[in-house]
Amino acid sequence: MLEILQNLDRRWIFLVMFVAVAVPLIMGTTFPETPSDQVLAVFDAVDNLPDGSNIVMALDYDPASAGELQPMASAFTRHCALKKHNIYFMTLWPPGINMIEGSINILNEEYPETYKGKYGTKYVNLGFRAGNEGVIKLVVEDLKKSYTTDIHGTNLDNIPLTKNLKNIQQVDLLANVSAGYPGSQEWVLYGSSPFDIPTVVGCTGVQAPIMLPYIPDQLTGMLAAIKGAAEYEQAIINHYPELAKNPKAKEGLVRMGPQLVAHVLLISLIVLGNVIYFLERRQGTA
């Protein structure tokens, strides 16, 4: 038995991991989530604003991390839409433009009465600009030095939402969803922190420890990984029960099923690996 385990082909492990992720995903298993204090801080930051407040939504990620971050971006979008907030979309990542399109589709398809046909008055897409933190430094001080037009080439002076916007210090909240550099940390260092712009972020699990030191003074709250997204979705559903009927509003909750099984599998593999290791040590082969 020990010999079989010692020489176990790693493809068997890959197969077990595939099944562990696929089965709960296909079955759509969900578990109840209790929003943590950090997630509730994010929820309150969006929800406590008066209806129709101005929010910058910076979506700095690409399809590689969409599995982890798209539910957050969608949840932010839905929450803002429920509050009828005005949204300024922008990105520091070239593929982020397509991620923004996903959020705009949510606005148009799920909240048509508030957003459909209201480009420029309820939401605007500023698109991508090269320059990483250089762009952040400009938009917080002089937006039109970095963005003279929106993504469609329309001059910002001709768009009602941006006509009188000198910089994003004038907005009520900055919401960033980020997969790395440039992203949440740069927004805090160059945007929110020097100018006291209320900021909430959603980031990957790997980034979470990097962002923790900024909470709560420089960062109001953080959604960390798919767990954070699921808790945020639960917090929104708790306050807006009508959203429970929308399966798209539970993307994060659905993904917690595979996460649970995968984590349990990982722990089982660690334990099994260590049992083999200690048996080998006893036999003097390790």
Partner 1 sequence: MKRTVPLLISAVTGFILIGTAFIPMFEEWGNDAMAWFNLLAAFAFILGGGNLLKMQLQKISAQQAGWGYAAVTLIAFFVTLFVGLAKVGVHPNAKFPEFSWSGNYLEVGSAFWWFFEYIFTPLSATMFALLAFYISSAAFRAFRAKNTEATILLIIAVIVLLGRTYASEWLTGGFPNEPIFGEGGITYSDFKLDHLSQIIMDDFTTPGMRAIKIGIALGVASTSLKVLLGVDRSYLGSDQEA
Buried b (16+ CB within 10 A) or exposed e, 84-100: ebbbbbbbbbeebbebb
Angle at 147 between CA 143 and CA 148, to 5 degrees: 105
Q: Given the complex with partner 1, which of 173 and 214 has the nearer CB atom?
A: 214
**Residue ranges in 169-188 that form contacts with partner 1 under rule CB under 8 A:** none
DSSP label at residue 188: I
Q: Which burial class, exposed, middle or buried, applies to 4 when counting CB atoms under 10 A from its CB (0-12, 13-18, 19+)?
A: exposed
195 binds partner 1 (CB under 8 A): no
Site string for partner 1, 226-265 (x = CB under 8 A): -x----------------------------x--xx-xxxx
Q: Which stretch binds partner 1 (CB under 8 A): 41-49, 78-86, 206-214, 236-244?
A: 206-214
Cβ atoms 159, 106 nearer than 8 A: no
102 binds partner 1 (CB under 8 A): no
Q: Given the complex with partner 1, which of 101 and 157 has the nearer CB atom?
A: 101
φ, ψ of residue 72 in degrees (nearest 5): -65, -50
CA-closest candidate to residue 88, choices 140, 20, 130, 25: 140
* Token pair 């696929």 in the structure block, residue: 22
Taking the chain, what is the end-to-end CA distance rounded to the nearest angstrom? 16
Q: Binding partner 1 by CB under 8 A: which of 16, 19, 22, 23? A: 16
266 binds partner 1 (CB under 8 A): yes
CA 123 to chain centre: 19
267 binds partner 1 (CB under 8 A): yes
Q: Given the complex with partner 1, which of 110 and 231 has the nearer CB atom?
A: 231
Report the distance separating Cα 185 and Cα 150, nearest Å.
25
64 binds partner 1 (CB under 8 A): yes
Q: Given the complex with partner 1, which of 12 and 51 has the nearer CB atom?
A: 12
Q: How many other C-beta atoms lie within 10 A of the C-beta of residue 44?
A: 14
21 binds partner 1 (CB under 8 A): yes
209 binds partner 1 (CB under 8 A): yes
Q: Which stretch binds partner 1 (CB under 8 A): 40-48, 112-120, 138-146, 233-241?
A: 138-146
Residues that bind partner 1 (CB under 8 A): 8, 10, 13-14, 16-18, 21, 31-33, 36, 62-67, 95, 97-98, 101, 129-132, 134-135, 137-138, 141-142, 145-146, 151-152, 208-210, 212-213, 225, 227, 256, 259-260, 262-267, 269-270, 272-274, 277
